[in-house]
Amino acid sequence: MHFDDEAVRRHFNTWHWLLENFGGLSAIRGTRLALPRDFASIQPTRDHAFAEKTFEMVKTLMGMSDWPCRLGQFPDGSEQNVARRHSLDGEWSSNGPAGLYIKTEEGVTIGYSNAQLDKPSALVATLAHELCHYLLKMAARSHPPGGWQDHELHTDTACGFMGFGIFACNAVFDFQQWGDHQMSGWKWSRQGYLSESEHSYSLALYCALTGIDAKTASAHLKNNPREYFEMALDDISHRPAEMDRLLRVKCLPRSLPPILSIESESDASVDSAPDSAAVFTRMDVEELGPTKPWYAPLWDFYMRLASAQAGECWHDKEFAAMDLLQPALRHAVLAMRFTLRFDDQGLQGAIILEEADEPARSEQMLQETIQAFEALRDCPRARFLQMLLPGIAVHFAELERAEREETLDEFFSPLDQDEAWRGLDLLWNHELRRMIRDKPMTFVHPAG
């Protein structure tokens, strides 16, 4: 089996974001891998008291024992809960909701389906997933790669990050046979958002980063996840550059407050974000110097601004946000945006917009980025991107051909020029810092 390169890239980007936001390597190495024996002392009475004891153990293992929340149960297959599927966050099985994260004025409730009481291991996975919702929504200091629209995938990945990869892997697919002397049959159910192979890859990353013996994890996995896990370990061993990037990740400063994204409210609408999301004050500009990473306040402002705009997909929101910015601030954001996307996804990922199925929008964003580098006196980068501009149309045409002919393994994009891009000096960075120092008011938003 060959792991999909795009799925692997998404894994590494999400893990980089998790490490950056939640304590880095020192924090993850301070956790331990949750094992079935951690719950062996809890008698499986299959009632709410059993669920509450399991819940407290999961909170303790995740280091969240002091996070205020209550545990609630809802009937399996409840029409009311199914009707609310699109307004509440939670983990879903093929038979309906397995768990729910609910935040109201009264506080946070973690809900679980009563059907989970018959599956203690799946109950652990569900409770870990819902607590990860709580963690990401209340403590993240930056927006995740790809935006919050993929928050369920980020949450599933966070289960592995928090040490619950074994339970997550084993809970994905459940196959049961039954029978007596007259008849027999089988049934299956699926739970969660990531596949078995994706959860196994996340568990393999956890073991590789923490130094936990892979045999310890493998011994507790079902057959399918075990095979995926061993293949993931082998795949990771052949990705030294990606692993080195995770090993060198720098945590966001604790001085950065949690973003408390509007997505974290179950009844909030992206289009109803407060006007304050569009404010970048003189004090914010001054923070660009001492803050490390220095661009964090500006990037957080831009992500809040873009999230508050109307649009069917993320790049529509970005274009709307750019239209609101005065020239100096827009040029700074465009240069910073392109650089961060390159660090996360390479040159192809920095140029091609997500969800864009034709070249025009990617060409438009790249043209604006070229103008930004020119304004910031980084002519080498502007010329380099100008040279790549015609390659966007070629990229889409060749990708379409490869998909049609089923030769994606042989696909090569003319935009894959990462090494040449890395060789260019950061002229724009120096010019931007000079402008921030000499003309800080040109970066205040709203202008004037």
168-222: pLDDT as tens digits: 999 884 433 333 434 333 333 334 468 888 999 999 999 999 999 999 999 999 9
Give percent of the chain with pLDDT exceeding 70: 83
Average pLDDT taken over every residue of the chain: 82
Q: Which has the minimum average pLDDT: 32-46, 82-96, 275-289?
A: 82-96
Contact 354, 315 (CB under 8 A): yes
- Tens of pLDDT, residue by residue over 285-337, are 887 766 556 777 888 888 888 888 888 788 888 999 999 999 999 999 999 99
Distance of CA 185 to CAs 163, 172, 417, Å?
35, 21, 55
Task: List the structure tokens of 204.
Answer: 């393999």
pLDDT of residue 271: 38
Residue 77 has pLDDT above 70, yes or no: no
pLDDT of residue 256: 66
Query: Which residues, including other chains, have CB under 8 Å from residue 173's CB and lie 6 or more apart?
Result: 188, 189, 190, 191, 196, 224
Query: Which residues, including other chains, have CB under 8 Å from residue 79's CB and lie 6 or more apart?
Result: none
- Tens of pLDDT, residue by residue over 371-398, are 999 999 999 999 999 999 999 999 999 9
Claim: this prediction has a pTM higher than 0.85 = no
The three-state secondary structure class of 413 is coil
Q: DSSP assignment of 269-318, as one string?
A: -GGG--GGGG-B-HHHHHHTTTSSSTTHHHHHHHHHHHHTS--SSHHHHH
Number of CB atoms found within 10 A of residue 198's CB: 26
Task: Give the Cα separation of 220 and 32 in Å (integer).
Answer: 15
- Could you tell me which residue, 279 or 328, shows the higher pLDDT? 328
Answer positive or negative: Cα dihedral of 299, 326, 305, 301: positive
pLDDT of residue 222: 92
pLDDT of residue 251: 83
Contact 327, 432 (CB under 8 A): no
> Average pLDDT for residues 154-162, to the nearest whole number?
92
Question: Phi and psi for 149 in degrees, rounded to 5?
Answer: -65, -20
What pLDDT band is residue 2 in, cutting at 50, 70 and 90? Answer: low
Residue in the structure block whose two tokens are 């196994």: 200
